A and B are shown apart, each in its own frame.
Chain A
């Protein structure tokens, strides 16, 4: 028996310890039980302060009606501008308390959601080219819900609140209040600033800038102490966008880790979720399962039992086809990507005069993604054959597969190159070390393929701990 450490390329160890999730679940349970009373308190205090500005704060967190007219959308934009202008540009920090601990998240979430839907709507009007009246209004107001103003709001909130400095201090175990400044020491600013960082993650991702999206979270540690973990929707959104960005950067192991974490968390908190909240989460839940299916197709790995079962129930047929690879898998990749991707937008107004020139951004990003899918589509076939041998002649294998030897050489190179992946260890989300993520390795000596398969030692300690905690619970 030989096992190597140090010299051989590092093989990644599967990390499926669920200690983190357990702790989060316990935290959340406490919060929900406690939160029950909080809501009533909120309403009473609201009734008492029928203050106009408080009403505006509450209003800003309210979702816009699904069928809102263009006029309402413009009006809503103006309201946000006025509110943020008041918060950011008054003489000194304004003296307001956020109506609830999740208010700041709701505001930023709704603000970006409206920006997102407005941009998509505008692009659709331009593409369809049959609503001249609305097209004219949109043409005349290119700056409403403009990308620069949305970015400006988010960055200003981050800067004013000194949230980056505060988070850095917290990571060094120093007192954040020392660097918070006059604005950042107020709850309102600190929370708006914090959730603006998550908002930026989302906006960058919507615009197709996946590495910048991940870089935005440099100051936020993804663990149970993070502030976003207190607001379920924020927690959920963060992991969705981080996971998606990882997937687009071909860091499938990291993407799977992100999606798994949040899906396990959701499945364990399901029983004490309030129903309304759970409905909105359940759609995203399915989307993330679809994304896990895509990632697992690129990077086969053992999933957590809960997720594996859910995946098989929801996308069993698709998963099989994805894992088999080849041209038949392509439509499934497309289908699941469309189903699960964010609603990508273009940052600039569309060309209203040439409807046919406006390509849907989703098609654009999908076509780039599919290029990588096509490059890798033969890897499952190649791997399934290689597993059967320790040495194999290339020409013979090419005969089995009914392809030219040149073609097979390319497939072998592609598969080998893709087994090395950046994988997060600690520090920023973009950092990581290059590891060999496959249990199958091979090298060629002329036309002779030498194959070696890594043996999985049994994970006894992990098994023991899991079952122990189950008996306790």
Chain B
């Protein structure tokens, strides 16, 4: 799973999340600093971040709102994957489902992020960029995550390459949240290394995913499968 166990994870963190230290409320400080590092250095360790959410779950007095939202935004950059959902499951129900009578800032922020995430998971990329622009709160929520928009853009491009052999620049313009066809051309050529022809059609290099080759599923037969029949035959004779 994306962003589950990154190579960047230091020894100290590994010890915390794999041992009983993960239940020590003091470990929250270390994990918070580690999250900060992830935000700055553009990598993601959702497994370690869940350990932090678990500590918050057991010790609600330690909760820091901006840490929770940062974890969610980091998890969101791994779309499509269950990471965001797995993090949500660890939040207190009252934080992630704002009732009519219990509106807190955190609950509101979480519900806003859930909208964004649903758009990414649902591959409604143009709508995602529009939502992101629609409210200043999103700028606040993503400000700590270095290169947030760029990460999302690269990820979308990667997903497009797994489904498309050719795609119109106009479609990509909306999906990548860019302002002009020129910017799209610049992005796909420089960042992705794809080609654009005169008609404005972007050509994605061949890869196993965008080929959609015909395959036949064949039966795997191993000797082990016959073991019982052979055993039986032997026993009957004996």
A interface residues (Cβ-Cβ under 8 A, vs B): 1-4, 7-9, 11, 13, 17, 19, 22, 147-148, 151, 155, 207-212, 248-250, 346-348, 351, 354, 356-361, 363-365, 367-368, 371-372, 374-375, 406, 409-414, 416-418, 422, 439, 441-446, 450-462, 465, 468-469, 472
Which residues of the other chain, B, contact A472 by a CB distance below 8 angstroms? 232
Which residues of the other chain, B, contact A410 by a CB distance below 8 angstroms? 122-125
* Least distance between B195 CB and chain A CB atoms (Å): 14
A375 to B171, CA, bound (A): 21
* Least distance between B217 CB and chain A CB atoms (Å): 5
Which residues of the other chain, B, contact A356 by a CB distance below 8 angstroms? 99, 101-102
Is B90 an interface position by the 8 A CB rule? yes
Q: Which chain B residue shows the least CB distance to A155?
A: B20
Q: Which chain B residue shows the least CB distance to A148?
A: B58
* Least distance between A117 CB and chain B CB atoms (Å): 18
* Least distance between A85 CB and chain B CB atoms (Å): 19
A148 to B174, CA, bound (A): 49
Interface size of B in residues (CB-CB distance below 8 Å): 65
Which residues of the other chain, B, contact A459 by a CB distance below 8 angstroms? 219
Is B177 an interface position by the 8 A CB rule? no
What are the interface flags for B217-229 relative to A under an 8 Å C-beta threshold, 1 for contact and 0 otherwise? 1111100011111
List, sorted by A's number, 20 A–B pairs whose CB atoms are closer than 8 Å.
A2-B216, A3-B216, A209-B90, A212-B54, A346-B92, A356-B102, A368-B96, A410-B123, A441-B213, A441-B215, A442-B163, A443-B210, A444-B164, A444-B167, A446-B168, A452-B212, A453-B214, A455-B214, A461-B225, A465-B229
Which residues of the other chain, B, contact A411 by a CB distance below 8 angstroms? 123
Contact assessment for B225 and A417 in the assembled complex, using a CB-CB cutoff below 8 Å: no
Which residues of the other chain, B, contact A357 by a CB distance below 8 angstroms? 94, 99, 101-102
A456 to B159, CA, bound (A): 28
Contact assessment for A465 and B225 in the assembled complex, using a CB-CB cutoff below 8 Å: yes
A450 to B211, CA, bound (A): 9
Contact assessment for A372 and B163 in the assembled complex, using a CB-CB cutoff below 8 Å: no
Is B10 an interface position by the 8 A CB rule? no
From B92, B167, B220, B226, A446 is in contact (CB under 8 Å) with B167
Contact assessment for A212 and B50 in the assembled complex, using a CB-CB cutoff below 8 Å: yes
Which residues of the other chain, A, contact B163 by a CB distance below 8 angstroms? 412-413, 416-417, 442-444
Q: Which chain B residue shows the least CB distance to A218?
A: B18
* Least distance between A9 CB and chain B CB atoms (Å): 5
Contact assessment for A445 and B166 in the assembled complex, using a CB-CB cutoff below 8 Å: yes
Which stretch of B64-72, B79-87, B144-152 is in the interface?
B79-87
Q: Which chain B residue shows the least CB distance to A409?
A: B171
From B47, B86, B101, B122, A414 is in contact (CB under 8 Å) with B122
Is B40 an interface position by the 8 A CB rule? no
From B80, B89, B92, B229, A468 is in contact (CB under 8 Å) with B229
From A248, A351, A460, B219 is in contact (CB under 8 Å) with A460
* Least distance between A1 CB and chain B CB atoms (Å): 7
Contact assessment for A457 and B50 in the assembled complex, using a CB-CB cutoff below 8 Å: no
Is B57 an interface position by the 8 A CB rule? yes
Which residues of the other chain, A, contact B162 by a CB distance below 8 angstroms? 416-417
Is B126 an interface position by the 8 A CB rule? yes
Is B209 an interface position by the 8 A CB rule? yes
